[in-house]
Amino acid sequence: MPIYEYKCKKCDNVFEHLHINTSDPVPPCTKCGSKEVEKVISTGTARPNGISADPTYSFPQKKLPGI
């Protein structure tokens, strides 16, 4: 079930909506109720387990045996 991000053309509110199936109608704005919304391209937040969300995080350096 995909989560889409929408932006209201009237109040510029950006909100997410979970679509249960592909025939779901476009949702109204969660702030002003307007039906004038457009789907926006959003960045994903998926990351492998154990990877920090902190962009300054770096992997610990591992010493290889015998080096």
Report the distance separating Cα 46 and Cα 52, nearest Å. 11
- Residue 66 phi, psi dihedral angles, 5° rounding: 85, 5
Interval 49-67: pLDDT, tens = 555 555 555 555 666 676 5
Query: Band of the pLDDT at 23, cuts 50, 70, 90?
Result: confident
Contact 13, 29 (CB under 8 A): yes
Does the pTM exceed 0.75? no
Q: Where are the domains of the chain?
A: 3-40
Q: What is the pLDDT of residue 24?
A: 83
